[in-house]
């Protein structure tokens, strides 16, 4: 699994709990303090050190360095304005059958919102919907989780 937006590790712990026992979480965040808190949360929860690979940096800079087809799931919960890059990189990173997940997409549902983040979220939702390589699904959880399986 690759995650963009480690935060304090709440989503990372859920992802780790849902993964195979030997599954590895690669989690990216620009903020070293957030990653330090997440690292502690993982260790307090008994996660073996080798199962969580925390990479500090911007998603747009780190994702291109990761291996093609090497991941089962990508979870995006970081810079909304960069979601277009997360989408393009995510399709490359997933193996067939893998899943892309974008958090907070309904935050941009109002077309009157024209800020960079809202526009990027709407653009990603449209691209995912129209992408023949993906089967999308919008889950009404929180601010909306856009999920798409790669076929």
Ligand X SMILES: C[S@@+](CC[C@H](N)C(=O)[O-])C[C@H]1O[C@@H](n2cnc3c(N)ncnc32)[C@H](O)[C@@H]1O
Stretch that binds ligand X, among 22-30, 47-55, 125-133, 142-150 (CB under 6 A): 22-30
Stretch that binds ligand X, among 30-38, 94-102, 123-131, 138-146 (CB under 6 A): 30-38
Judged by CB under 6 A, the residue of 1, 2, 5, 15 near ligand X is 5
Residue 35 in contact with residue 84, Cβ under 8 Å?
A: no
Q: Tell me, rounded to whole angstroms, the distance of Cα 122 from its chain centroid.
A: 17
Q: Pairing relation of β-strands 134-139 and 25-29?
A: unpaired
> Element (H or E) spanning 3, and its range?
strand 2-4
The verdict on 77 binding ligand X (CB under 6 A) reads yes
Residue 33 in contact with residue 41, Cβ under 8 Å?
A: no
| CA distance readout (Å), 65 to 55, 60, 61, 93 | 11, 10, 8, 10
The verdict on 30 binding ligand X (CB under 6 A) reads yes
**Closest distance of CB 111 from ligand X, Å:** 24
**Closest distance of CB 102 from ligand X, Å:** 12
**Closest distance of CB 114 from ligand X, Å:** 21
The verdict on 78 binding ligand X (CB under 6 A) reads yes
**Closest distance of CB 130 from ligand X, Å:** 25
């Amino acid at each position: 699994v690759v995650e963009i937006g480690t935060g304090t590790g709440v989503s990372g712990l859920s992802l780790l709990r849902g993964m195979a026992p030997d599954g590895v979480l690669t989690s990216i965040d620009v903020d070293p303090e957030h990653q330090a808190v997440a690292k502690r949360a993982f260790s307090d929860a008994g996660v073996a050190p080798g199962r969580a690979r925390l990479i500090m940096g911007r998603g747009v800079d780190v994702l291109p360095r990761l291996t093609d087809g090497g991941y089962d799931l990508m979870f995006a919960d970081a810079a909304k304005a960069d979601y277009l890059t997360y989408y393009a990189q995510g399709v490359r990173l997933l193996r067939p059958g893998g899943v892309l997940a974008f958090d907070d997409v309904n935050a941009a549902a109002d077309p009157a919102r024209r800020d960079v983040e809202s526009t990027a979220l709407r653009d990603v939702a449209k691209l995912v919907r129209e992408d023949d390589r993906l089967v999308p699904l919008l889950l009404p959880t929180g601010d909306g989780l856009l999920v798409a399986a790669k076929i």
